[in-house]
Amino acid sequence: AIFFVSLKNSCNFAIKIEPNSMNDIQTIQNRIYEIRGQRVMLDRDLAAIYGVETKALNQSVKRNIKRFEGDDFMFRLTKDEALSTHSRSQNVTLNRRGSNIKYLPYAFTELGVAMLSSVLKSETAINVNREIMRAFVEFRHMAATLSLPNTNADVAQLRKDFEDLKLDIEDI
């Protein structure tokens, strides 16, 4: 299905989205980073999902900045944080020499992404936000159901397996 996204005081953009598709949720999850102990999406990734330029998304946010006050909604990455995300995504804007970041990206928390639906004025933006919210929820669900060794027996078995591997390596 093709939908149209409109940013307040900006142009309309067409994007293709298949609602409730697990593939879409996985694509979105691949764009979720853990920064400062929070799961966030970067402005450039959100703009790509909405089919708008990063500059247009950020301008809409700046016109409604009171909705995004506080690090629990949105924050600007430090240079080191931006460079660490650069290894996952090559879209960081660098200066002419390629050594310094020209524009530090904004990181939107789950609350900030939800608030975008009040800034972006279209049904499509709301539908996109629903998919993003589903991705965050799925992320939380996966983290909650992740099984880690939590008993002494599990740890003891891991140690035994490690020692066995170590002996096998020594034999080789």
Q: Three-class SS string for 110-172?
A: HHHHHHHHHHECCHHHHHHHHHHHHHHHHHHHHHHHCCCCCCHHHHHHHHHHHHHHHHHHHHC
**What's the confidence (pLDDT) of residue 116?**
87
Question: Cα 15 from chain centroid?
Answer: 19
| Total-model pTM | 0.63
135: confidence class by pLDDT, cuts 50, 70, 90 = confident
- Per-residue pLDDT tens for 103-118? 899 999 999 998 887 7
Top pLDDT among 26 and 58 is at 58
Candidate ranges 5-19, 23-37, 45-59; pick with highest mean pLDDT? 45-59
- Tokens 């996952």, residue? 88
HEC secondary structure over 78-111: CHHHHHHHHCCCCCCCECCCCCCECCCCEEEEHH
User: Which residues contact residue 130 at a Cβ distance below 8 angstroms, ignoring those fewer than 6 apart?
Assistant: 19
Grouping H, G, I as helix, E, B as strand and the rest as coil, residue 37 is coil
Please determine, for residue 23, whether its predicted confidence score (pLDDT) is greater than 80: no
Estimate the crossing angle of helix 43-50 against helix 54-63, to 10 degrees: 110
Top pLDDT among 10 and 70 is at 70
**What's the confidence (pLDDT) of residue 167?**
75
- Per-residue pLDDT tens for 73-106? 999 999 999 888 765 554 444 444 555 667 899 9
**What's the confidence (pLDDT) of residue 12?**
38
- Per-residue pLDDT tens for 143-162? 788 766 667 777 778 788 77
In angstroms, the Cα distances linking 93 to 22, 53, 101, 107, 133 are 30, 13, 6, 15, 27
**What's the confidence (pLDDT) of residue 108?**
96
